Structure 1
Amino acid sequence: MRAAVLTGFGEPLRIQERPAPEAAVGGEVVVEVLAACVPPYADEVFSGERRYPLVPPVVPGIGGVGRVVHAGPDATRLRAGDLVWCDSTVRSRDDALTPDITLQGWSSRGEGGARLARHLHDGAFAEFMRVPTENVFPLPAAAGADPARWAALAVHVIAYGGLLAGGLAAGETLLVSGATGNLGSSAVAVALAMGAGRVVAPGRNRAVLDLLAERFGPRLRPVPLTGDEAADRAAMSEAADGPVDMVIDLLPPSAPSSVARTAAMTVREYGRVVLMGGVGMLGGDDLALPYPWLMRNSVTVRGQWMYPRTANVGIIRLLASGALDLAPERVRTFGLDAVNEAVACAAEHSGAFDRTVLLPSGGGRRSG
């Protein structure tokens, strides 16, 4: 098979011929990869800037849409030819409470995660990939008409997992810190699809704030940020027009902790704050939420890395029902030979509802 291979950090991806993966007797599925999202920060991973624990040579890629080629005997419903979503969040099977985790073809956590990464080393930037059976989820037939658009699952399932972690309920007010970014704008769309009463969307990018307001109407409350913590907190609280039930932070590593703190401290008494972004990953000040404020207001703060397996089923249902609409998203697609062009495109077009998608098993460049 043909695959895009990271041979070393700081090197361009190279197209190589590799043996097609073979599944173990049980517990694994081989999938032909039709479409895989290229994250906007992929160039930072491949350059080594983000210091991800990838071990070259490696086929990168974080999940994808594909068709089942082979399923083992312990798969009772999957069949060859089924259209599926392949979740990259792989968990060890020998610890139900605190499983080790690797993001297949992308990252890992701790020594246990590194062991998983050595076993499931390669990701979705290839014509075929080997995936744990429990990470393969059937897609509706409609997804087969545009698998590139459905590859946005890689983004939306993360935001959905964070909203589940915070227990977002229908009718509640949510504040999305980092709302104008690629992942933050996804959280806006997913929250409204889940029935949020209103979503407060702070950000510095006026054009994206206008885009969000135009797309989602009065339930979306945009707030231009000024950098003045007190003024920004007051503006966000005013936009909510009532208590903020939950805050989710999805800011990138480049964002200062003060922005995340300002947003978090808009939450009401007994409110919830979910941290899913990258603040502090590249250095800088800690979040430093005030102890008295947390204690006296009974605020729950939760960190959330990725999402539970069941989130894949939930987000697929939201998409299949039409509650979460993929039609307005701008999708740029590239064939496998243009993988480095795709990485550059993803970095350049990293805004709200911009998707760059690799088509490993065929297809070329188009936009839509």
Structure 2
Amino acid sequence: MKAAILKSFGTPLSVEQSETPKPGTGEVIVKVVAAPVPHYAKEVFSGERRYLLGLPLVPGAGAVGKVLAVGPDSTRLKPGDWVICDPTVRSRDDAISPDITLQGLSARGEGGLKLQQYYRNGSFAEEMMVPTENAIKIGEIAPDEASEWCAINTFLVPFGGLLSIGLKAGETIVISGATGYFGSAAVTLALAMGAGAVIAPGRNQAVLDELVTRFGKRVKPVTLTGEESLDIGNIQKASPNPIDCVLDILPPFADAKAVRTAIMTVREYGRISLMGGVGMLGGDGLNLSYPWIMRNSITIKGQWMYPREAPQQLIAIVKSGLLSLGLFTISEFNLDNINEAIEHAANEKGAFRLTVVRP
């Protein structure tokens, strides 16, 4: 089969023939029809993001495709099924605290690297092997719809954060990083989950205006000034009710001050989910007040990715019509042009932009 291989950081991917995978127990082989190219892929493959990634490998996190073959223990999947390939691979020998690797993208700690040694090759290939539980049926779709279904990957990340703080219908939430790639998806998803109001702070006025145009008056935009006390006041003034929860999903290069600004707007007994990348590349910490957290009974949760059942839950939300995958402007590339696709994704990393490779 044909695959794109990353042999060393900072070099272009090499498209060449690779060994065709064969399924064993607990494994599924999927024909990749469409695979998303993250907007930050260039930063990962250059080494700039310092992700744990054993090379060489076939990169690519997640895919939409058709099952080609299943292992002997598969009881429901069958060849021909349309599936999404969940890139969050968990070890099976510790249900409480499993090691995790993001197939074709990154790993968490030494255990994740060990897991990556086996499930190392991702979706920038004609075929890929995934754990059986990571191939999730989506029902019959037309082949042309596969690129649109790649948007599931974008929504899954903030979905994990929203689940972690138990967003309820009618609540008011602040999305810190609302004008970014994942942040705009978080705004969309919070509305689909029934949020009464979504406060969207950011500096990109064009995107703030776009969010209001797309979704209406439940989106409350706030233009950030960089002055913490002023921004806190403006966010709270924009909210029609006390702010119940905050989701931060700012990227690694963002200032921790912006995260703290969003956090400090939450009401007593408020909930906060931290799942962005702030601090991963150094810089100041959050410097939150212990007495403020304690006396206001604030819940702060760190969340990396999402629980195992989240993809099926999100598919159900899409199937119900509550969440549209058709919001994105999609740019498609074939596998031979994977390096152009990576460059394009880096340049088109704004809200509601999706780059897809179709092997």
TM above 0.5: yes
Q: Distance in 1 between matches of 2:143 and 2:2?
A: 22
CA deviation map 1:188-247 (0-9, x unaligned)? 001100111110000000000000000010000010111010010101011112211010
CA deviation map 1:261-285 (0-9, x unaligned)? 0001111100100000000011100
Match of 2:53 in 1: 54
Give how far 1:163 is off.
0.4
Q: Which amino acid aligns with 2:329?
A: R
Give how far 1:145 is off.
4.0
For the 8 Å contact 1:202–1:223, the answer to whether it is kept is: yes
Give how far 1:159 is off.
1.0
Q: Distance in 2 between matches of 1:62 and 1:243?
A: 38
**Unpaired runs of 5+ in structure 2?**
none
Give how far 1:355 is off.
0.4
Match of 1:22 in 2: 22
Q: Distance in 1 between matches of 2:66 and 2:327?
A: 25
Q: Which amino acid aligns with 1:2?
A: K
Q: Does 1:170 align with 2:136?
A: no
Q: Does 1:270 align with 2:269?
A: yes
CA deviation map 1:86-114 (0-9, x unaligned)? 00101110111111111111111111111
CA deviation map 1:273-317 (0-9, x unaligned)? 000000001110011111111001000000000001110011111
Q: Which amino acid aligns with 1:359?
A: R
For the 8 Å contact 1:157–1:311, the answer to whether it is kept is: yes
Q: Does 1:6 align with 2:6?
A: yes
SS class of match (1:115): helix
Q: Distance in 2 between matches of 1:6 and 1:314?
A: 33
Match of 2:65 in 1: 66
Give how far 1:143 is off.
5.9
Q: Which amino acid aligns with 2:196?
A: G
Q: Distance in 2 between matches of 1:336 and 1:8?
A: 19
How many residues were matched structurally? 359
Q: Does 1:313 align with 2:317?
A: no
Q: Does 1:287 align with 2:289?
A: no
SS class of match (1:131): strand
Match of 2:246 in 1: 247
Match of 1:158 in 2: 157
Give how far 1:140 is off.
2.6
Give how far 1:144 is off.
4.1
Root-mean-square deviation (CA), in Å? 0.8
Q: Distance in 1 between matches of 2:83 and 2:241?
A: 42
Give how far 1:73 is off.
2.1
For the 8 Å contact 1:36–1:359, the answer to whether it is kept is: yes
Q: Does 1:103 align with 2:97?
A: no
Match of 1:229 in 2: 228
Q: Which amino acid aligns with 1:21?
A: P
Q: Distance in 2 between matches of 1:80 and 1:5?
A: 26
Match of 1:365 in 2: none
Q: Distance in 2 between matches of 1:7 and 1:246?
A: 43
Q: Does 1:339 align with 2:338?
A: yes
CA deviation map 1:58-85 (0-9, x unaligned)? 1000111010000112111111010000
For the 8 Å contact 1:68–1:80, the answer to whether it is kept is: yes
TM-score normalised to the size of structure 1?
Answer: 0.96
Q: Distance in 2 between matches of 1:296 and 1:17?
A: 61
CA deviation map 1:306-339 (0-9, x unaligned)? 0011100111111112211122310111000110
CA deviation map 1:153-178 (0-9, x unaligned)? 11101111110011000010010000
Q: Which amino acid aligns with 1:280?
A: G
Match of 1:366 in 2: none
SS class of match (1:76): coil
* Structure 1 stretches of 4+ moved >6 Å: none
Q: Distance in 2 between matches of 1:314 and 1:73?
A: 26
For the 8 Å contact 1:143–1:150, the answer to whether it is kept is: no
Q: Which amino acid aligns with 2:154?
A: V
TM-score normalised to the size of structure 2?
Answer: 0.99
Q: Distance in 2 between matches of 1:196 and 1:35?
A: 31
Q: Distance in 2 between matches of 1:292 and 1:174?
A: 23
Give how far 1:141 is off.
1.7
Match of 2:131 in 1: 132
For the 8 Å contact 1:28–1:133, the answer to whether it is kept is: yes
Q: Distance in 1 between matches of 2:139 and 2:289?
A: 47
Q: Distance in 1 between matches of 2:78 and 2:244?
A: 43
Percent identity over the alignment is 56
For the 8 Å contact 2:37–2:345, the answer to whether it is kept is: yes
Q: Which amino acid aligns with 1:247?
A: V
Match of 2:75 in 1: 76
Shift in alpha-carbon separation, 1:179–1:143, aligned structure 2, 3 A: farther
